[in-house]
Structure 1
Amino acid sequence: MDLHSGYPYSLIRHGLPFNYPKLENDLRTSVVVIGGGISGALMAHALVREGITCVVLDARTVGLGSTSASTSLLQYEIDVPLTELKEKAGIAHAEKAYALCAASINKLEKIAKRVDAPYFERKHSLYLASFKKDLPKLEAEYKARKAMGLDVMFWDPGMLKDLLGLDAPGAIYSRTAAQTDAYSLTHALHQYNLKKGAEVYDRTFVQDISFPKNGVRLTTAEGYTVLAGHLVIATGYETLQYLPAGIVDLHATYAVASEHHEKGPLWYEDCLIWETKDPYLYMRSTPEHRIIVGGRDEKFYNPTKRDKLLPSKARQLQQDFSKHFPHIPFKPEFSWTGTFGSTQDGLPYIGTYAKMPHTFFALGFGGNGITFSQIAAEIVCDQIRGKQHPDAEVFSFARYKG
């Protein structure tokens, strides 16, 4: 699947920091993970921390799928607001999902330190009302988050004008957020995992999966076999070959990175900023004071059509930023487009799927896929160990309505 094109900032910034071998022999292991991006790397990390041997296989060079195109905002907010998610998933599951995403940011920070990741920074987040008509829903959202104990404030137009110079009807200000670099974090995870006994192979395409009595058998395109007790599929949007076609809707998204500025912060605390409009606009800064702006999503998966729109989308994103911050120079240097997916309720799919025995899915669908991937790693690791995870039901396939 063609997942991105253009010049993703993370890939330009870090290049190919490490090389991984191609599988050229048969293997036997406890767990095999298909997918070497951020989801697969976090999954393998959870396994090696529990002393479980694992092998990671990726059809591409490691990290060159969706991971390299990620803009790497870490927020507990799900694409579906808490007030709407309560109606879709029920109050208990909605609040649990938001709480787990908030907790995952602290856990990701600890993981980043453990694996000596090049970059992880705690941030605050601002959720802007794009229009006056959005204000009642935003106020209801603030109250719902506040009621469940999330650390939030409501900012009125005066505060937004005084602190950020923004003209907006209101916003939710959250102290629970962070940003990282998903691509470099993925490589740091793999390097740590390798030292703990994991094996990582890229450019290794799994052509066939079969299920002998006590496990799984994977056959690569070059005829090598991997036997394992369990299989974890962490291939993100390329997982559709294993699942019902309607389980995720694929969309095109766009991003642009500016030239670097000599000094920062560029706006108040360089907080993460995103909006209520659909599709929403979002922006963040980088350690070298570049500005990354993303959004302008299109509801289709067509790589040719997606790529053709990139120049005009990049210009629109530049204009979007300049409307908010006319006093901050924004000269684009890199732009890229990628594929992402959304589910019926905005939540990922994690755990077992009836049609594939001995198999678990770790799928971080949605705008905050990194936090979802960390949650998936914990749940699936427990399930592989034979433990009942208390939150598995929130993200199970049982909720899918085909």
Structure 2
Amino acid sequence: MKISSADTSTMNSLKRDGVLSSPWQSSATAWAQRTGRENTAADRTWDVLIAGGGITGLTTALLLQEAGLACIIAEARHVGFGTTGGTTSHINTMLDTPYHTIENNFGTSGAKLVANAARMARDLIARNVSAYQIGCDFAYKDGVLFAQTEKEAGELEKIYQASLRAGVEVERTTSIPLPLDFVQAIQYRKQAQMHPIDYLHALADAFVKKGGVIIENARVEDAVRENDIHQVQTSGGLIRAQRLVYATHIPPGMNMLHLRCAPYRSYVLGAQLVDGDYPSELAYDMQDPYHYFRSHLLDGKPYLIFGGADHKTGHGDPRMAFQELEIYIRKHFQVASIDYRWSAQYFEPSDGLPYIGKLPGDEETYVATGFSGNGILFGSFSGLLLTDLILGKESPYEKLFSPSRIKPIAGFANFVKENADVAYRFVADRIAVERLDALVALAPETGAVVKYEDKQIAVYKSATGAVKALSPVCTHAGCIVVWNDAEKSWDCPCHGGRYDTNGQVLTGPPRKDLEVIPLA
């Protein structure tokens, strides 16, 4: 088995799990070790196999390699293909789950541990940037959270007081870095931002230089444990390892974490402004879903990076989400151009904290998921915690973030209610489908689930009018996929699996592609 060599002609247009490009793709520096290096993987047993070449996988692999273990990464596509390539890379000690909610669910001591975990992750990123001399535009910024109504101000006060109790560096402020009206604001010190793909490629370089191996185009297809060794079949061949880490957003197959995490999509615009009035700090409003703001200099051009309009995967209208963001940004900013539109996926945990640790019921298999909107931060922290667990070190964070934790909380009822339609999707969508007549009016580069001779098919019409037919049944749990007209993908509304127009898996948990249906 060999490391897959990337096509150097595509280096300036790095692919990710959607047709819409993020600014990080076009401006990323090349990964120096992508070509010209070959390693065999099948003729040995590795200490650790890490499935996934994103922020979680690369951070974990590098830390374990630094600790002296022999590690190999199996990446389904290429490094940075998944959510890391679409993140807006806010690095926060202010979290999507506010500290007063964490206090209610896990106690004051739990909130303090979470705050410390956030600082550790931020400091690890800063350490890597310094130790490996990574040119990824890493910069410390303050993060401003602001309320625009009296009701929001009451909630903001709870967040502020709980943040202080958790030991987070936060203070009141009378200004925000945006041309927006507000009634109250608080400022979190020493947040950060960076170019995520440049950082990720540098981690890959460091990992390989320390003896680690990365195999691209190697999706995990099956994994069994025999004689205390994981026998992992990938699309690139068999890999044997003593321990297995799923750094794949959500682990493949069927397990309890699919009932504890809900997939969401968030939408982002990259805009240039007429007046050059870009925010100097990170900023967030308190709407639901909230908007997030920052700026970044890309290829010498400043950009406002603005996002929001989140919705559960497969349940909202992506085009409407982008339209909502564009209306908002044009209302409040002097927009010269909107050069980028893209979206990314994250998983929302049922009780507010990520699941990091041993996969329940699966010996020597580790997972990290449920990062909410804090993927760069918790992906980095996962590397720290998983490294401790794999090395057999005691950690005060093990129980708090354990995937096996069962904790009835008030918020869980809302989570169950919100995701009650998962079971419904197994049956209802098989009936409520469009007629095949819709094919006549189907626009180019558009897809739809239609009914044909008592069968449902997922149909896509290409730009040239060619029709591709697929089974609409997700290969993970049998839900019916829906068409994402913005990213040109088939998305599962149950567990977040996504497929391209040819039916090939873009993101897990499914392992198998959609079935192709021949058309006469």
Structure 2 length-normalised TM: 0.69
d(CA) in 2 for partners of 1:98, 1:3? 31
| 1:77-104 C-alpha deviation (Å, 9 max, x unpaired) | 2211111111122221122112210232
Among residues 353, 356, 359, which one is paired with 1:347 in the alignment? Answer: 353
Q: Does 1:210 align with 2:224?
A: yes
**Equivalent position amino acid for 1:226 in 2:** I
Q: Does 1:276 align with 2:297?
A: no
Partner residue in 1 for 2:318: 309
1:193, distance to aligned residue in structure 2 (A): 0.7
Among residues 353, 374, 379, which one is paired with 1:368 in the alignment? Answer: 374
1:262, distance to aligned residue in structure 2 (A): 9.4
Among residues 208, 211, 229, which one is paired with 2:242 in the alignment? Answer: 229
Please say if residues 3 and 339 of structure 1, whose CA atoms lie closer than 8 Å, have aligned partners that are also in contact: no
Q: 1:209 to 1:279 in 2, by over 3 A?
A: same
Partner residue in 1 for 2:200: 186
Q: 1:55 to 1:283 in 2, by over 3 A?
A: same
Question: Identity percentage over the alignment?
Answer: 25
Q: Secondary structure at the match of 1:143?
A: helix
d(CA) in 2 for partners of 1:82, 1:240? 33
Please say if residues 72 and 214 of structure 2, whose CA atoms lie closer than 8 Å, have aligned partners that are also in contact: yes
Task: Indicate the structure with greater helix content.
Answer: 1
Q: 1:148 to 1:15 in 2, by over 3 A?
A: closer
| 1:355-399 C-alpha deviation (Å, 9 max, x unpaired) | 211111133621111111121111111111111112111110232
Among residues 295, 299, 316, which one is paired with 1:285 in the alignment? Answer: 295
1:183, distance to aligned residue in structure 2 (A): 1.8
d(CA) in 1 for partners of 2:401, 2:200? 23
Q: 1:145 to 1:283 in 2, by over 3 A?
A: same
Q: Does 1:256 align with 2:290?
A: no
Partner residue in 1 for 2:466: none
Partner residue in 2 for 1:51: 68
1:35, distance to aligned residue in structure 2 (A): 0.4
Please say if residues 388 and 395 of structure 2, whose CA atoms lie closer than 8 Å, have aligned partners that are also in contact: yes
**Equivalent position amino acid for 2:150 in 1:** K
d(CA) in 1 for partners of 2:360, 2:121? 27
Query: Higher RCO, 1 or 2 (CA under 8 Å, sep at least 6)?
Result: 1
Partner residue in 2 for 1:79: 96
Q: Secondary structure at the match of 1:137?
A: helix
1:206, distance to aligned residue in structure 2 (A): 1.6
1:285, distance to aligned residue in structure 2 (A): 0.2
Q: Secondary structure at the match of 2:226?
A: coil
Partner residue in 2 for 1:31: 48
Please say if residues 72 and 370 of structure 1, whose CA atoms lie closer than 8 Å, have aligned partners that are also in contact: yes
Please say if residues 22 and 201 of structure 1, whose CA atoms lie closer than 8 Å, have aligned partners that are also in contact: no
Please say if residues 48 and 72 of structure 2, whose CA atoms lie closer than 8 Å, have aligned partners that are also in contact: yes
| 1:204-239 C-alpha deviation (Å, 9 max, x unpaired) | 1221101113231111235x3211111111011454
Q: Secondary structure at the match of 2:353?
A: coil
Gaps of 5+ in 2: 1-15, 408-415, 417-520
d(CA) in 1 for partners of 2:114, 2:323? 35
Q: Secondary structure at the match of 2:368?
A: strand
d(CA) in 1 for partners of 2:318, 2:166? 41
d(CA) in 1 for partners of 2:74, 2:387? 18
Please say if residues 80 and 345 of structure 1, whose CA atoms lie closer than 8 Å, have aligned partners that are also in contact: no
Gaps of 5+ in 1: none
d(CA) in 1 for partners of 2:368, 2:257? 16
Please say if residues 273 and 336 of structure 2, whose CA atoms lie closer than 8 Å, have aligned partners that are also in contact: no
Partner residue in 2 for 1:381: 387
Please say if residues 247 and 400 of structure 1, whose CA atoms lie closer than 8 Å, have aligned partners that are also in contact: no
Q: Does 1:357 align with 2:363?
A: yes
1:65, distance to aligned residue in structure 2 (A): 1.0
Q: Does 1:266 align with 2:278?
A: yes
Structure 1 length-normalised TM: 0.89
Please say if residues 74 and 371 of structure 1, whose CA atoms lie closer than 8 Å, have aligned partners that are also in contact: yes
374-383 or 233-242, larger mean C-alpha shift: 233-242
Please say if residues 29 and 198 of structure 2, whose CA atoms lie closer than 8 Å, have aligned partners that are also in contact: no
Please give the root-mean-square deviation of Cα atoms over the aligned residues, in Å.
2.4
Q: Does 1:394 align with 2:374?
A: no
d(CA) in 2 for partners of 1:322, 1:239? 41
136-145 or 253-262, larger mean C-alpha shift: 253-262
Q: Does 1:135 align with 2:153?
A: yes
Please say if residues 22 and 203 of structure 1, whose CA atoms lie closer than 8 Å, have aligned partners that are also in contact: no
Among residues 332, 337, 346, which one is paired with 2:343 in the alignment? Answer: 337
Q: Does 1:321 align with 2:329?
A: yes
312-321 or 353-362, larger mean C-alpha shift: 312-321
Q: Secondary structure at the match of 1:318?
A: helix
Q: 1:319 to 1:240 in 2, by over 3 A?
A: farther
| 1:290-345 C-alpha deviation (Å, 9 max, x unpaired) | 1110110112x22xx76x623x4333223323444x3x435210101222110012
